[in-house]
Structure 1
């Protein structure tokens, strides 16, 4: 079977199977480096990630003479890095302080608030705005599991309701999925996912008893009397709105925008210039009090930018390998909602979930001779009015799994690694890559994913 898979990868896409080794090596180093050789990894992860990424990039350009995928990947990476960096800088200048007692109910309330916010400012924006006040609120009882459930709920599952929520859904919107399709079709799965994960969080957090800390009775009385949110750096909210609004400046959707044309595709640069400009003014005119209160530094975002440079370019062969297997005619009959849910989800947990969504959207549509580069075809596929008939459930499966499974590892979605980096910069010892999966994703996230699959995709109850 393995030989068949490797042969498919080579013959259909002319990509040698050994080219996935740099990706596997990088993932292995991300998982083991901080634990086994932390000092070396801390000082050399940038060189390692960039070297592995450039190695695969060079092979594509010079050995395979393949310029198409590297150029697409480059523009996707630039958009990804610019958006995350801009949001990070803007949110870093907004200081939110919560005067309240760090009870399990309060913590659940904050992550649910973050889940709602994620559909307006994106999972990245909501994560960056709330992670620091969330840590400060729990500073005397902070534990890694609290950060991880924050990642589960705010950084991933929360963004299911609008295309602004999570990058995969925004890609679908740009390709033709109606804006309110997600709210219409994913509302009940969103409620169920947020509710179930919040229940798990509440139960575990209720067992977290503070030790060695005696709170001031006057402070407790004040917090019990009134919960207050204090915000410093409100001017950055305007720049944050500019950064988010610029997301819609896509030349593939809006005619007349300046762009770079390549191979029939339009790549944006105006959007990125606006976002970087807004980020510059954010930092230049940010409240010094807000920056100091957030202990702002560029280290967490630099870690994300460098590591994801390596991930984006080393995962190109992995994406092509998966596409080669799934798009083979002999596997066409397996393109069902159940298959799309688990296949999209499995890859979204270990590859970036945005290109995974795009690949499986293309795969699901190809079964009915529909093309993802046709806005009309995508709209018909989403609404079930095309030649495939009842295809809506296929898109539901792809959308749900790409967003929810993005929380399965640190690298499944951009905000995950950023939240981890911010937590570690605050002195919280986060679990390793494999510890995250074994101790938290499998026992807590996976049951929720199975239940949602059974009710929504398999039984089609919602």
Structure 2
């Protein structure tokens, strides 16, 4: 008798044979890797920085293919050299333990915030603008820099659409709401959420980084008020016709989404506070029941928001998926190509990045807190702050319990550097590019990549130097 199998049966047989190989694949030994394995990671990040400048049309239509190309440039040779088991284990770990939870949180926040529309016409005076930025700084730590940015950038631009000079308003919005304000909880900024996934307590950052955050946000708000007041009173600022007509009443359309924001907060809190022995071993990656419940809950929240939000609200907000799709595609490539980089940094002084480890380590072997702040921050400016946080988190040992206690100053420096200096460039944090795109779509002539850096380096770098002297020296 001839025995036959259907295609799906053969697929099950193949998966059954391969899964033990995945599960038994040892952690990648970074000390045995060549620095050339980091080329795809550098390539995708340079593509994000330069291709929108040198080939904007190509980038706009094919950025997903570029990201996929760099991911394949790593995965194909890595599979050939180290085998399907090691490559599969790395791929599945990057997806299940890091990328999927990260992108689901961003998507839920983006969707829910996009379903809230502030009805009415505010008038962008210096006091009002400063107040909106201050409110955004508070909201950023509790609904995410992405959520707060998407909620407030549209009404802020509308409030100032009768003013001649608006660039500084959006630039400071990126500084404060899209970055610095998100430093107090894992909900605030992607790097802190990744730290939370690695075991950092939910309230640890609030307890340890509050003074630095208060200083930075306070100085930036004061400086913004002075600049905005000068523009408002000295440069023939107000145009005779306001593009946005006044309406008799203010309010929120789609306000039910505020409840869904609360559900997102509850889900993230639950996943950190609920301890369960139930976990699933998927090809060597352990997925806990609390994290699984959180991720399923985030998907349901996004679906519910789309179902219950009136189409008129999305139309008023000019809501579309392009900003989220761009972040999702680019980060997929980043999270894959960063696998060997993290392994090499975890190898410490025995790995190819020993110079980086030595730079953040004192001669006596202790951590150089100031260098951790600046190394994490400067790389976050150009390499996106979420994967950069992971790199230095692992460089410092990768043990959350130790970093929260014996090495707390180091974790403070890493966290502050990743969050604060993500504002240095458009690619430093995911919301930066989203805010820039929305502002340009509404006629704000945003500076180029390097033009923005003139703003950020001129304003932020002196503040970071002062903070180093006070807290990290």
* TM-score bracket for this pair, using the shorter chain length: 0.7 to 0.9
SS at match of 1:410: coil
Structural mapping, 1:83-162, within 5 Å: 83-97=105-119, 99-141=121-163, 143-162=166-185
**CA drift at 1:354:** 3.2
Note if 1:313 corresponds to 2:328: no
Native 8 Å contact 1:122 1:166 kept in 2: yes
Match of 2:33 among 15, 25, 30: 15
**CA drift at 1:123:** 1.6
* Distance 1:407-1:259 versus aligned 2 partners, 3 A rule: farther
Note if 1:413 corresponds to 2:434: no
SS at match of 2:268: helix
How far apart are the structure 1 equivalents of 2:440 and 2:370? 37
How far apart are the structure 1 equivalents of 2:220 and 2:272? 38
Q: What residue in structure 2 maps to residue 424 of structure 1?
A: 440
* Distance 1:60-1:288 versus aligned 2 partners, 3 A rule: same
Query: Which structure has the bigger radius of gyration?
Result: 2
How far apart are the structure 1 equivalents of 2:69 and 2:331? 12
Native 8 Å contact 1:200 1:444 kept in 2: no
Native 8 Å contact 2:30 2:345 kept in 1: no
How far apart are the structure 1 equivalents of 2:447 and 2:278? 44
* Distance 1:318-1:426 versus aligned 2 partners, 3 A rule: farther
How far apart are the structure 2 equivalents of 1:264 and 1:46? 26
Q: What residue in structure 2 maps to residue 451 of structure 1?
A: 466
Size of the aligned set, in residue pairs, is 425
Q: What residue in structure 2 maps to residue 34 of structure 1?
A: 52
How far apart are the structure 2 equivalents of 1:327 and 1:85? 39
SS at match of 1:454: helix
* Distance 1:424-1:316 versus aligned 2 partners, 3 A rule: farther
Note if 1:79 corresponds to 2:111: no
Q: What residue in structure 2 maps to residue 304 of structure 1?
A: 327
Q: What stretches of structure 2 of length at least 5 have no aligned partner?
A: 1-27
Match of 2:362 among 333, 344, 355: 333
Match of 1:279 among 299, 302, 311: 302
How far apart are the structure 2 equivalents of 1:48 and 1:54? 10
How far apart are the structure 2 equivalents of 1:104 and 1:326? 51
How far apart are the structure 2 equivalents of 1:326 and 1:204? 47
**CA drift at 1:456:** 1.3
How far apart are the structure 1 equivalents of 2:174 and 2:294? 27
SS at match of 1:428: coil
Q: What residue in structure 2 maps to residue 4 of structure 1?
A: none
C-alpha deviations, 1:142-183, integer Å up to 9, x for none? 633322211111111102223332233334445444443323
Native 8 Å contact 1:34 1:432 kept in 2: no
Match of 2:265 among 233, 244, 253: 244
* Distance 1:353-1:29 versus aligned 2 partners, 3 A rule: closer
**CA drift at 1:265:** 3.1
How far apart are the structure 2 equivalents of 1:43 and 1:403? 30
Deviates more, 1:270-279 or 1:353-362: 353-362
SS at match of 1:20: helix
Native 8 Å contact 2:109 2:144 kept in 1: no
**CA drift at 1:325:** 5.3
Deviates more, 1:344-353 or 1:81-90: 344-353
RMSD: 3.0
Note if 1:200 corresponds to 2:223: yes
SS at match of 1:333: coil
Native 8 Å contact 1:96 1:230 kept in 2: yes
How far apart are the structure 2 equivalents of 1:12 and 1:307? 24
Structural mapping, 1:212-227, within 5 Å: 213-215=239-241
How far apart are the structure 2 equivalents of 1:22 and 1:414? 20
- TM-score of the superposition, structure 1-length normalised? 0.82
Deviates more, 1:183-192 or 1:164-173: 164-173
How far apart are the structure 1 equivalents of 2:48 and 2:410? 33
Note if 1:372 corresponds to 2:394: no
Native 8 Å contact 2:192 2:415 kept in 1: yes
Q: What residue in structure 1 maps to residue 386 of structure 2?
A: 354
How far apart are the structure 1 equivalents of 2:141 and 2:205? 10
* Distance 1:73-1:372 versus aligned 2 partners, 3 A rule: same
Q: What residue in structure 1 maps to residue 450 of structure 2?
A: 434
How far apart are the structure 2 equivalents of 1:353 and 1:254? 28
